[in-house]
Chain A
Amino acid sequence: MKFRTRAIHIGSEPDSTGAVVPPIYLSTTFVQPGPGDWGAFDYSRSGNPTRARVEKTIADLEGAAGSLAFSSGMAATHCAMGSLEAGSHVVAGCDMYGGTYRLLHKICNRNNISVTLVHADDSKAIAAAIRPETKMVWVESIGNPLMSVPDLEQISQITNKAGVLLAVDSTFVPPCILKPLELGADIVMHSATKYFGGHSDCLAGALSAKTPELHRQLYFIQNATGGVIGGLEAFLLHRGIKTMELRVREQSKSALAIARWLESQRSVARVLYPGLASHPDHQRAVRLMGDQFGGMVTFDVRGDIETAKRVCKATELFGLAVSCGAVESLIEQPATMSHASYDPAARAQAGIRDTLVRISVGLEDPEDLIADLDRALAIAGGA
């Protein structure tokens, strides 16, 4: 069965009621057959029927040995980092979500875990940064916000040889486009708040593991630390996954049209979208992802930080908000919003300019979205 069919049916098998949509279990605890005699579920932190279903669906879609659902993407990332012992070293792509940067530099460092940031689309730089104590390479399959595309095939060869885990934050590239585990990654992380949920109404995270052993290790940490998704959110997440392939296909189509249009605008200095021939990693993106590149586009406006601010404030259809991947289009300025938790110097080094604007393309008609951007750019430039 193909992706969309599996997204709808795997994990939604009928129960004894015949319900076509599985019930929502809010129960925190489960009655056991006898002392020390455990049923399938005992306590909802350890496992919950609604969560188990969505985990089954995600594992199937990622081609994973097993998946785990969390209360947020950061809880998932924290769980993955929880597998590292004190003294470990992580090599991470510098084109990275601000919250992950913060977790690595301001929380994980307390456990004496050190980080080296490199440009993830430079596989040689990753290889060069690996040390004896390196335990994990962490990259985003499309970097946030500069849209860099790492060569996951090449990097997995490097990590395999070095005996290091390759973990991929694939939030910008859902599994209907790219399955990092198939390309050799060991762990895939998703902020399922984004494309998986898809409706801006549930926070969720997911970890998928290549091997049962790794899945067991991560499950142990999840159960011990407790960042699990609740029953209602698991239901909403599951509901969202059923239309994910359709949504992402449409969003990719609209994003490409919008990126091309932006590229033709004089008020725009540079457009970053892996689907554009002008993107430095375009060939690699085509090889890894085919003809869909997701709904995220970033661009630099001509002007200064204020010009970018004015663009973000002037749109009427694009909502001014962080987050992405949902049905409604959003716009934001990374320097002051999604990536404000970077140190300014690190931001500059990563190449995140003050004039950068990030859009998340939703399901509105692309002509309506282009008209909205056209107006906003005119207002921002003229003011």
Chain B
Amino acid sequence: MTSSSNSKSELGFGTQSVHAGEARQKPNDAITDSICCASTYTFESTQSILDYLKEGHEREEYGRYGNPNEKVVERKLAALEGAEDAIVYSSGMAAIVGLLMCKLSAGDEIIFFDQCYHRSREFCVKHLSRFGVVTHQVKTGDMVAMESAINSKTKMLVSESPTNPHLTVIDLESFVAIGKRHGIETLIDSTLATPYNLKPIEWGVDYVWHSATKYMGGHNDLLAGVICGSTQKLEPVRKLRGILGSINSPHNMYLLERGLKTFALRMERHNHNGQRIAEFLESHPRVQRVYYPGLESHPSHAFAKKTMKGFSGLITFLVKDADWKQTAAIIDKCKIPRIGPSLGGVESLIEQPMVMSYFDYPSEQREQFGIYDNMIRMAVGIEDTDDLIEDLRQALETP
């Protein structure tokens, strides 16, 4: 590889996870990147500031605008996603806020598919509205409804794929076609899929958004978000981040880079565990329904097969004839997965969406979002598959 940067696209995904975006030869010949904590960067002389202002060559200036650790991660993520550029933020939410604040102005409208992370919806409905941006929600996957909601003010079409927590997979081909027909940009929250399984850019999506807190970091020990897209489209977004200040820290960026080294391995395991556990749950008499895109019974299995290589580790299921307390009792009996929000780390987590994320909502509204009292969401980690299955079995079967 050349001395600058390793991002040859013909290399395998595992090779890219380890090497892409990094300098082959690093300062002091270190094999790993150093953590550069500096909040500011100095210039040799007044003349070098003037040269920098005039020529704008790449260098650091002040920590809010960028730091070397963040740049390495951005290059690595862009390479993995097959995107020209990537911008990293202090959390997934900071990333979407950073993008939408840049791209939308008063009077603009955006259209969302209705199944989505509840805070993304909350930001748009409660907060973007204060700045005069209108959010429309249409039924997830209903392309006709999405297209008919478009008007001259529509600026962006937004979806997750798969969605959280129903794991609906979007037909990206139709989704992108609508955007292109009307000259409207498209955005996919690809957090649950990751570039190991899905590359929305290859389908023509304009912006790919991830909560890198999840599979990318992979160890439940850092918060991060990323927006991927073309250099041209992202340039003003990066400038705004420098003003909003939602950049991530050098320490976190080092941990994210370290987490990405095992990205391919971990995803292979999440896919494997997810599929096996979904199949186990589907065959269990106490389970009423399983939402997992890798199951033939899942309504969007065909789109999942069309767009994805594997189906990740998030599984949602309904317990047969159980009220919320009986459902909670199953969760409380699990010995391996810990009870908590989030997903994508090496350790399995389990939760009841009705309790964890929707407790404050009236029950009719929960039903409307498809959040049922007997619903369990499990974020499958990379533990031994049989251990996890045995644990779920005892939780479901112990009286």
Contact = CB atoms under 8 A, between A and B. Distances in A.
Interface string B265-304: 1100100000000000000000000000000000000000
A39 interface: no
B266 A368 contact: no
B261 A20 contact: no
Contacts of B31: 200, 319, 321, 323, 326, 328, 330
Given A199-B261, A243-B265, A367-B12, A20 B382 contact: no
Contact of A1 (B221, B264, B269, B384): B384
A28 to B, nearest CB: 20
A21 interface: yes
Interface stretch (B69-77, B305-313, B316-324, B340-348): B340-348
A250 B31 CA distance: 21
B1 interface: yes
Interface stretch (A117-125, A345-353, A357-365): A357-365
A261 interface: no
Interface in B196-225: 219-221
A216 B383 CA distance: 32
Contacts of A127: none
Contacts, number: 104
A328 B18 CA distance: 6
Interface string A313-339: 000110101010011101000000000
A16 interface: no
B336 A5 contact: yes
B66 interface: no
A239 B219 contact: yes
Interface centre among B12, B221, B261, B264 (most CB of A within 10 A): B261
A175 to B, nearest CB: 15
A21 B13 contact: no
Contacts of A362: 18
A97 to B, nearest CB: 19
A364 B20 CA distance: 11
A2 B12 contact: no
B98 interface: no
Q: How large is the interface on B (under 10, 10 to 19, 20 to 34, 35 or more residues)?
A: 35 or more
A200 B11 CA distance: 22
A12 interface: yes
A89 interface: no
A317 B1 CA distance: 7
Contact of A4 (B14, B18, B219, B383): B383
Contact of A363 (B17, B24, B336): B17
Given A246-B269, A246-B382, A201 B32 contact: yes
B103 interface: no
Contact of B221 (A9, A239, A364): A239
Interface in B347-399: 347, 349, 381-384, 386-388
Given A2-B384, A321-B31, A20 B349 contact: yes
Contact of B387 (A1, A21, A246, A319): A1
Contacts of A2: 383-384, 386-387
Contact of B14 (A5, A321, A365): A365
Contacts of A368: 11-12, 15
Contacts of B14: 363-365
B12 A364 contact: yes
B384 A3 contact: yes
B276 to A, nearest CB: 14
B19 interface: yes
Interface string A234-258: 0010010011001100100000000
Contacts of A3: 384
B64 interface: no
A87 interface: no
Contacts of A14: 338
Contact of B13 (A242, A243, A365): A365
A9 B262 contact: no
Interface in A1-39: 1-5, 8-9, 12, 14, 18, 20-21
B258 interface: yes
Contacts of B265: 243, 246-247, 250, 363
A246 B218 CA distance: 14
6 closest pairs, A vs B, by CB? A365-B12, A2-B384, A364-B15, A5-B383, A327-B261, A5-B387
A20 B220 contact: yes
Contacts of A316: 1, 24
Contacts of B19: 317, 328, 364
18 contacts: A1-B336, A2-B386, A21-B220, A199-B261, A243-B262, A243-B265, A246-B262, A316-B24, A326-B31, A327-B261, A328-B18, A362-B18, A363-B14, A363-B264, A364-B11, A364-B18, A364-B19, A368-B15
Given A2-B386, A323-B31, A363-B265, 15 more contacts: A2-B384, A8-B347, A8-B382, A20-B345, A20-B349, A21-B219, A199-B32, A200-B31, A242-B219, A243-B382, A363-B262, A365-B12, A365-B13, A365-B15, A368-B15
Contact of B266 (A12, A239, A246, A328): A246
Contacts of B386: 2
Contact of A8 (B12, B18, B264, B381): B381
Contacts of B388: 5
Contacts of A236: 258
A317 B15 CA distance: 9
Interface in A86-122: none
A326 B14 CA distance: 14
Contacts of B384: 1-5
Nearest to B218: A243
A20 B347 contact: yes
B383 A8 contact: yes
A7 to B, nearest CB: 9
Contacts of B17: 363
A365 B11 contact: yes
Interface in B18-69: 18-19, 24, 31-32
Nearest to B258: A199
Contacts of A201: 32, 258
Interface string A123-148: 00000000000000000000000000
A240 B261 CA distance: 11
Given A4-B382, A328-B31, A21 B221 contact: yes
B345 to A, nearest CB: 7
